Amino acid sequence: MDFPDLHDTAVQIISPPFVHESDDAWNWQSSEERYWNLWICLEGNALIECDGVEYPVQPWTAFLFSAGSKITGRSRVGSKSMRNFSIHINLGAKNDELLRGRLLGIELHEPNNVNSLINLAIRLSSYRDSFAEQQLQTLTLSMLGLLWRESIQSVQTDAAWLIYRQLDRIHAGQDMFRSVDELAAEVNLSRIHYGRCFRQLTNESPNRYLIVKRVERACVLLEQTDWAVDAVAQSIGYNDIYFFSRQFRKVMACTPTQYRERSRS
């Protein structure tokens, strides 16, 4: 299946996310930007034309406008004022080819989840530390992942679609603490069948995938905080520091303490 490795490439935030409100006679024309624009309609109805193709817009219609796209938009007759979320980003050459022209006019079917991500992104933008910046990058990738999943939903099996949703939450730091049995039960599959489907989508077993994600989170905490190693372990779900150290060594080929010393040198 066509699964993007978006989480492996850091998003560069060009300007903080914001929610924009416009009057009833809303219109928009833009073609000079050199960055990507993740744009999600929150209220109102409109028509947006991007590179010669027109898209109807209603609440929870989303776009990823690529750099240099020619965009015009206008509110529909009788529509209330527009309200939308926007964040300007750079994706890098790897994702540029993957996503260009593909995530336009996507109808999001999980508005509560998307709204939570938007609210958290707005709150994080008020901080200026590097950890908040990394969290904002992760949230942005989660939103891009939701758009991608919606765009290819029609060609996925029900089980694969549900696993993709779990992966979005894992990348956002939410489901990495759950057991494989819990994740399998949520998809209504046996552990063996779930593991087979999961491996088809990620080329990893679910257990290995979760361990790697937990260790990646531990690496961030070891780099950017002064927490003791046992506190880092507990924060990612390990009550046994020795077990955590063994898992960490398997992934990173060093102990947590050695990783911290190397990262700071």
202 vs 246: CA distance, rounded Å: 24
Under a CB-based contact definition with an 8 Å cutoff, are residues 46 and 26 in contact? yes
Determine, yes or no, domain membership for 155: no
Count of all residues that appear for the chain in the document: 265
Q: How far is Cα 32 from Cα 23, in angstroms, rounded to an integer?
A: 23
| pTM score of the predicted model | 0.56
Does residue 208 sit in helix, strand or coil? helix
Write down the pLDDT at residue 200: 81
Whether 49 is in a domain gets the answer yes
222, part of any domain: no
Residue 32 has pLDDT above 80, yes or no: no
Domain count, the chain: 1
Range of the structural domain that residue 43 is part of? 6-114
Report pLDDT digits (tens) over 70-113: 888 888 777 777 899 999 998 876 666 667 667 888 888 888 88
- Written as six digits, the tokens of 147 are 């758009």
Least confident of 57-66, 92-101, 209-218, 240-249: 92-101
Residue 224 within a domain: no
User: In the predicted model, what is the mean pLDDT of residues 143-148?
Assistant: 85
Q: Which of 131-145, 152-166, 197-211 has the lowest mean pLDDT?
A: 152-166
The answer to the question of residue 176 being in a domain is no
Q: Is 183 a domain residue?
A: no
| Angle subtended at Cα 46 by Cα 79 and Cα 148, rounded to the nearest 5 degrees | 135
**For residue 230, which phi and psi values (nearest 5 degrees)?**
-65, -30
146-184: per-residue pLDDT in tens? 888 787 664 456 788 788 888 888 887 777 788 899 999
What pLDDT, on a 0 to 100 scale, did the predictor assign at position 30?
Answer: 66
- Check which CATH number belongs to the domain holding 51 and give it: 2.60.120.280
Say how far apart CA 131 and CA 124 lie, in whole Å.
10
Is 248 part of any domain? Answer: no
For the ranges 3-12, 100-109, 129-138, the maximum mean pLDDT occurs at: 129-138
2 pLDDT exceeds 80? no
Residue 133 lies in a domain: no
Q: Which one has a higher pLDDT value, 2 or 257?
A: 257
pLDDT of residue 223: 92
Mean pLDDT in residue range 106-133: 89
Q: Percentage of the chain surpassing pLDDT 70? A: 85
Q: Is residue 144 helix, strand or coil?
A: helix
Burial, 216: exposed, middle or buried (Cβ in 10 Å; 0-12, 13-18, 19+)?
middle
Q: What is the mean pLDDT of the chain?
A: 84
